A and B are shown apart, each in its own frame.
Chain A
Amino acid sequence: MSLKKVRQTKADKGFKIWDLIVYGAIIALAVVLFIIVFTTRDTSPLSGIRIYSKGAAVFEYSFESGKYQKLSEAADLEISDEGDKLIIKISCSEGYNVVELGKSGYVKVTDADCANKDCVHMHDIVDNSSAIYCTPHGLRIVPYEFEDDGIIIM
């Protein structure tokens, strides 16, 4: 670096006014998003879950009744009831995911044949604040909330 350039760099201010405005805006945005995410999280207990495969709802489980429902005849689902948990294998043309659904109120993906297995490493769903996604297989597992409508069917 030439001596002239060194002197010019030393003479420059660290930040110009537009730098500060842009940085300030980024910080403000980050803070607002942070507050929205953390204050609007729904951490109420899990009432049920719904599984979507390539955009179509394929499976639903109600933790209240302990009952599950296949929502699509076309979906390739293998469901086994192991007492305190259900094991659901969802297959599609791209591969499979194995979902473990604990009747005490949790859901996780235990196995998949996608490349990175991100879905296997995602946090368990234990309340209404989280979801699990497997992008390569188009799989989405999301909570749905139970609402007491005052009607009970026996």
Chain B
Amino acid sequence: MFLFAFILIKIYNIAMNKKIKSACAVVSVIAALSAALSTGCKPDGVEIKLRSPYFFSMGTDAFCNLPKDVTESRVEDCNDLLNEIEGLLLELDYSLNTTNSNSYVYKFNAAGAGSIVELDKAAYEVFALAKSMYELTDGYYNPSVYYSVQAYGFGGAPSHPTTADELPSDEIIEKYKALSCFGEVRLFEEEGKYYAAKPEVSVQIDGVEYAMKVDMGGIGKGYAVDLVNELLEEYDMEYGYFVFGGSSIAFKKFKGNDAGDYTLGLSNPRGSGNVLSTSVQNLCTSTSGDNVQYYMIDDVRYSHVMDPFTCKPIQTGVMSALIVGGSAAENDALSTSIMAMGKERAVEFINEKLSERKVVFLYDSGEGYQIVTNLAEGNYKLLSEDYTVISEVKDGKIVLGN
């Protein structure tokens, strides 16, 4: 830089000696000052800057929100944390993405009936978690409805039916049902390696043999949220949140109020605005809804949430479900299951097995929109006149009104 300034001064002197009417002298001085300011004022030319908190994995987006004062005062910590999150999400994509031909789930899906497929630890853990959720929900959570999801035009399928004639036939659906036998997947460890054995079941459709396939996308996102939540703890991040795919969130505290509460709103699946809100902090939440991926044929809604017993899009009247507390991965599975269960069975299930969690689901009775929840009155705010709360909470259990 000194050499540069010396050369500029020389040019200036020459210009003066030659009496050149010297705009070039002014330009030289400005250039010298610019050079000094742009190179000399940064510490050794290193600019410390926060990396992007946005991520893309398993075909969807993720975002880590950290308060501005934290990102400014702990730049290196925040960058390390965000880099770790990126690494984690990349690894999980490599484990669980059904469209990534290198992923373990892809290899599981590509293998023939009865094959034994090696998994990595993350894929194995997610399979094991999916199995436990399958058992807990009596099969209402079932990641092996893969073919039905595709046949109805979801899960990355190129198009969806637009008329009743284009819907998959009952005959085909019956065959897909035979392949949705997730309970028969066998998991085992051997010499420090992880394996999944596919069921022997296969079906023939138009001369092609099909074996079971799974999609761990939903529960996988929750699994990622749980791991990122642990990272937030490790990095001592007291405030902010991490959201994956818009349906799974790990909340820390909100810095903008004394209580540290975030306001969590449940959107209206049949219109605009929100149905209710509740306060949350330091916990994980997940939602499922039939209003995100769906289409209508002859006034019937076909959503991406499948009834695992009919292998058709749910027609239970449950429009969306929100689970608060516990693990995000489990919540992903549970919210989907509640939608498939229908109102009465879901209430029974929540009372029996989810009393530690807070659950809200929205139900279309055909005559009106209803809210069922185990949140005590006073712990939520009703925001829509179109919805009626039809449940009470007694001894922590939901009691349905008439």
Contact = CB atoms under 8 A, between A and B. Distances in A.
Nearest to B249: A152
B365 interface: no
B34 A26 contact: no
A149 B261 CA distance: 11
Interface in A15-70: 15, 23, 26-27, 30-31, 34-35, 38, 43-46, 63-67
B132 interface: no
Given A14-B19, A148-B255, 12 more contacts: A45-B54, A63-B52, A64-B63, A65-B61, A65-B243, A66-B63, A66-B246, A151-B277, A152-B241, A152-B243, A153-B264, A154-B249
Q: Is the interface of B mostly helix, strand, loop or mixed?
A: mixed
Contacts of A67: 246
Interface string A130-154: 0000000000000000101111111
Contacts of A64: 54, 63, 65, 243
B26 A26 contact: yes
A4 to B, nearest CB: 16
A117 interface: no
Nearest to A29: B30
B173 interface: no
A31 B35 CA distance: 11
B37 A66 contact: no
A10 B257 CA distance: 74
B24 to A, nearest CB: 11
Given A27-B33, A30-B30, A152-B243, A44 B50 contact: yes
B63 A153 contact: no
Contact of B54 (A14, A34, A104, A154): A104
A23 B267 CA distance: 62
Contact of B256 (A27, A45, A149): A149
Interface residues of A, number: 37
Q: Which residue among A27, A30, A38, A66 has the maximum number of chain B CB atoms within 10 Å of its CB? A: A66
Nearest to A126: B52
A35 B249 contact: no
Contacts of B103: none
A154 B63 contact: no
B267 to A, nearest CB: 5
B243 A83 contact: no
A104 to B, nearest CB: 6
A84 interface: yes
A45 B19 contact: no
Q: Which residue among A12, A26, A35, A153 has the maximum number of chain B CB atoms within 10 Å of its CB? A: A153
Interface residues of B, number: 50
B45 to A, nearest CB: 14
Contacts of B267: 153-154
A105 B19 contact: no
A26 B285 CA distance: 59
B256 A83 contact: no
Nearest to A65: B246
Contacts of A35: 37
B107 to A, nearest CB: 21
A149 B255 CA distance: 9
A30 to B, nearest CB: 5
Given A14-B16, A45-B51, A150 B263 contact: yes
A23 B26 contact: yes
B394 interface: no
Contacts of A63: 52, 54, 61, 63
B246 A154 contact: yes
A31 B34 CA distance: 8
Nearest to A146: B65
B182 interface: no
A27 B54 contact: no
Interface in B237-291: 240-241, 243, 246-247, 249, 251, 254-257, 261-267, 274, 277, 285, 287
Interface in B36-71: 37-38, 49-56, 59-61, 63, 65, 67-68, 71
A153 B280 CA distance: 12
Nearest to B273: A153
